[in-house]
Amino acid sequence: MSLTYDAVVVGARCAGSVLAIRLARAGWDVLLVDQARFPSDTVSTHFMFPNTLARLERLGVMKRLRAAHDIPQLLFSWGVLGQTVAGSFTPVDGYERMSCVGRVVLDHALVETAVEAGASTRFGVGVTGLVTESDGSVAGVVLQGGEQVRARWVFGADGRNSTVARSLGLKRLNPLRGDMSLLFAYWTGLPETEWFRLEIWEDRAITWSPCEDGSHILVVAGGPDLARGNRRARQARYLEWVRRFPSVIDSRALDRGRQTSDLVVAPEAMMRGFFRRAKGNGWALIGDAGHYKHPSIAQGISDAVEQADYVADALLGEDPDLGRYEKWRDARSQEQYLWSFRAATWPVPERHIPIYAGFAADENAGQQWRDMFNRLHQPSEVYTAERIGRWTGARPATSQPATPEARRSASNDLGLAYAEARIALGTLLRGLDGALMERRVPACPAWTLEDLVAHLAGEAADFVEGAYFLGVSDAWRDPDVAATRDAWTAGQVASREQESLDAVLAEWDKRSPRLEDMLSGRTAAPDRYPPWLPPAVVADLAVHLHDAYGALGKSGDRSIAASQVGLRVYVRWLEIRLAACGRPALLIRAPGAREWLLGAGNAAATLTTDSFDLFRALSGRRSRDQLQSLAWQGDPEPFLDLLSPYELPRSSLIE
């Protein structure tokens, strides 16, 4: 005999319990299943910001926690290379500070609240598979031992390695990885403080925070090696590392304290990010099961609780089929996802000191920066081009980075810039109907959108396999080289002709982490590659991202980091062409961004246009008429035939 519920929720921590509480309170018959028995721990630190504390307050979880525990309310201090942004948050429902409640305590309070709300539970029993109908819709779960439980809805809240997702055959989309691994443990006897403190240096970081009932958590972060070795070696390393940050906690304080827990280890591989489809027929994924960001910015609990709340509101309100859920989740998460991996990449003095000094000194900017953790601002509203430009100062774009640190910063940025553009394009195209994918791309009319993705997947594959065609930089001056380049890219498209778009996107996703590691300098690129190639690969992706936006009549994010890399690459190539052909100097101005003097002596002409138009003009996306009608001072004639390394489009491209 099988039981039938309105909903089976698999996984009973932040995502699952919150959804169970909401649905059970609304009168749904809910079964909450978890292979763990509570109280139970999980590998996670547990910093929570006012937005999440306010949600937990509304659910009654904070009241339950306060009744049994002393929960400190903390001020927030985040230091990068000696620059510290510190203070409270913009209040949410009266919460203007953060808290740090251990997972054993927090998750138990969530589970108890779900039980009190009326959810039935099965703990200590894993879900091993799904019950599906002949049309593929999900109608229940199979428990360990074979028992089937049927339900109108199955919610996978079962974490990163979700069994529900695996049973549905869902892939990890838009993967990303960071630099860090973590070691942490709990302590008593450390000085009392009302501060959460995090400090990051070039290759290491520490977090010290009071938790509930007088305990403290001390977390150290380092490269992947930090988490390697046996238990004893890691424990010794941890005790040595916590003493490396005297400006946060000094040796005397540590000597007076006592480590009260086993060491917890979070290797780099545990913190790799992804998205999965969020919803299908009879099922939805919430929390880590559907999307995992890097823990560097401590948003996983917040996301899990917020998604559970959203799904409950939708089911009980105006979107009972959850038709809008995936779109909402992706829009809500995308910028934070990229920010989490930027934060999981070691800072570089030349770039990060001025930026964090800026946030530390500017009260309004610092408040907004803290409120990103509180989800009141998206990173793009906080890291504005105007602020970053003002704080870092514009540098000549064609100069090579001066120091090893600056070179590392530039290459770190390359990997992330590529990832960001890849994710933007994947998000744009996934789920488009077939007819749209067959649409010709006006900027490269030989290709459909599907062909364009095949080229990019092929380019990524060729790059990591050492098979990149290095003639691309010379093709402008030699028709034979140009023909070889065209045959190379045509081969990338032809060899994927029989594949579906999803398969090609999946191949690209699979290749990209290695490619991005090479672009970031984490993994050595093939020896035969010259230094100009990594930025050129990012530039090519940026060109095609905007080609795709153009094909769909959208404008997209025109200042995405890959476009800025692309502009620098194409300006540099133009400089080379002008010099090789003996043309006079040209001054290019992109107001609000940069200017470049290409060539020696006084400029014979000046071209002024915004960064995006300039990027498109220099990458062959403007017709001769369009180039002529840009804002020129002086005679454009000596330059028009060299502005693009490619043949110009015959008709105007309006974007």
Ligand X SMILES: Cc1cc2nc3c(=O)[nH]c(=O)nc-3n(C[C@H](O)[C@H](O)[C@H](O)COP(=O)(O)OP(=O)(O)OC[C@H]3O[C@@H](n4cnc5c(N)ncnc54)[C@H](O)[C@@H]3O)c2cc1C
| Binding-site ranges for ligand X (CB under 6 A) | 10-16, 33-36, 42-47, 126-127, 157-159, 163, 182, 266, 270-271, 287-289, 295, 298-302, 304
CA 513/CA 526 separation, integer angstroms:
15
Pick between residue 218 and residue 567 the one whose CB is nearest to ligand X: 218
Structure tokens at 538: 């990012």
Write down the least CB distance from residue 365 to ligand X, Å: 24
Site of tokens 């230094």? 531
Pick between residue 289 and residue 561 the one whose CB is nearest to ligand X: 289
Write down the least CB distance from residue 318 to ligand X, Å: 25
Pick between residue 33 and residue 131 the one whose CB is nearest to ligand X: 33
H or E element in which residue 79 lies = strand 75-80
Write down the least CB distance from residue 17 to ligand X, Å: 8
For 469-560, where are the alpha helices, taking DSSP H only? 479-494, 501-520, 533-551
Pick between residue 2 and residue 652 the one whose CB is nearest to ligand X: 2
Write down the least CB distance from residue 358 to ligand X, Å: 26
Write down the least CB distance from residue 226 to ligand X, Å: 12
AA letter at 550: G
- Output DSSP code: residue 593: T
Write down the least CB distance from residue 296 to ligand X, Å: 9
Q: Are the C-beta atoms of 259 and 241 separated by less than 8 Å?
A: no
CA 216/CA 261 separation, integer angstroms:
11
Please write down the long-range contacts of 550-553, taking CB distance under 8 Å and 24 or more positions apart.
550/441, 550/442, 550/443, 550/621, 550/653, 550/655, 551/439, 551/440, 551/441, 551/442, 551/443, 551/449, 552/428, 552/432, 552/436, 552/439, 552/449
Pick between residue 182 and residue 539 the one whose CB is nearest to ligand X: 182
For 118-162, where are the alpha helices, taking DSSP H only? none
Pick between residue 237 and residue 622 the one whose CB is nearest to ligand X: 237
Tell me the angle at which helices 14-25 and 103-117 cross, rounded to the nearest 10 degrees: 20
Pick between residue 36 and residue 86 the one whose CB is nearest to ligand X: 36
Tell me the angle at which helices 14-25 and 50-59 cross, rounded to the nearest 10 degrees: 40
Structure tokens at 633: 């001072």
Give the chain's end-to-end CA distance (angstroms, integer). Answer: 61
Write down the least CB distance from residue 293 to ligand X, Å: 8
Among 554, 583, 568, 578, smallest CA distance to 619 is for 568
Pick between residue 16 and residue 535 the one whose CB is nearest to ligand X: 16
What are the CA-CA distances from residue 211 to residues 72, 240, 264 (Å)? 7, 22, 16
Pick between residue 10 and residue 71 the one whose CB is nearest to ligand X: 10
Pick between residue 47 and residue 89 the one whose CB is nearest to ligand X: 47
Structure tokens at 506: 């999946």
Pick between residue 175 and residue 287 the one whose CB is nearest to ligand X: 287
Structure tokens at 45: 């630190």
CA 487/CA 493 separation, integer angstroms:
10
Write down the least CB distance from residue 291 to ligand X, Å: 9
| Tally of CA atoms within 13 A in the half-sphere of 631 that contains its CB | 10
Pick between residue 325 and residue 468 the one whose CB is nearest to ligand X: 325
Write down the least CB distance from residue 71 to ligand X, Å: 15
Write down the least CB distance from residue 303 to ligand X, Å: 6
| Residues 6+ positions from 16 with CB-CB distance below 8 Å | 9, 10, 32, 34, 155, 157, 158, 286, 287, 308
Q: Are the C-beta atoms of 143 and 150 separated by less than 8 Å?
A: no
Write down the least CB distance from residue 96 to ligand X, Å: 18
Pick between residue 75 and residue 576 the one whose CB is nearest to ligand X: 75
Write down the least CB distance from residue 158 to ligand X, Å: 4
For residue 244, how far is the Cα from the chain centroid? Answer: 29
Handedness of CA 356, 362, 367, 368 (dihedral sign): negative
CA 421/CA 427 separation, integer angstroms:
10
Write down the least CB distance from residue 34 to ligand X, Å: 4
Burial class (CB in 10 A: 0-12, 13-18, 19+), 13: buried
